[in-house]
Structure 1
Amino acid sequence: GRFFKTKTKAELHQEALKRRILIQPVCNLTDILEHPQLKARDYWQELEHPELGTTISYPGRSCLSSEFPCKLWRRAPLIGEHNREIYQDELGLSEEKVITLKQAGII
């Protein structure tokens, strides 16, 4: 216990690599956002978030390919953003039925 409290994840990882010990640090969100390999690959892509009035880092491509370029073109949907399309277009509910369900607190 005490030994690990005196070392950083990076120090433990480097020492393990020198000694050929299989070890990998468990990354928290900050570690992942700041990871040098992900930064070098431009993994994180900034997209506008309408409710926050700022950008959010979204995960990008899981692999790089010159033959199949991939770029995020829209953010994740807001909660309920596509309800009309689902309830009316996909499920076939009328606008009146959707209004009734909303007023009843069902949706």
Structure 2
Amino acid sequence: MADDMDGADSDLVAGERRVDLMHALSFVSTESGPDGEYIVNGDLPPEVAPPFIRAIMRVEAELLLHDAELVTVGNEEPRTPDERRTDAFVALVLRIDDRS
């Protein structure tokens, strides 16, 4: 159970160990783009990438299910796949940082 305080599952984020995700984030950097936006760069080593990719995919799946509930005849998909992927990345980073 994810809420157990005595085992390896006690500190999971999106199904992955927080420590593994924090290690993966150490390979991610940002830079300012020409229009004031941030560009996120990451070159994760093969042994570091899988937990991070799985976690982002899980969060993206949550967002996709939420978006599916918002689709109606007059309202198309509320965000593009690229927007959803970006939102998933931001949500994952916030979850990794949230230790409450």
Structure 1 length as normaliser, TM-score?
0.24
By percentage of residues, which structure has more helix? 2
Higher relative contact order (CA 8 A, sep 6+): 2
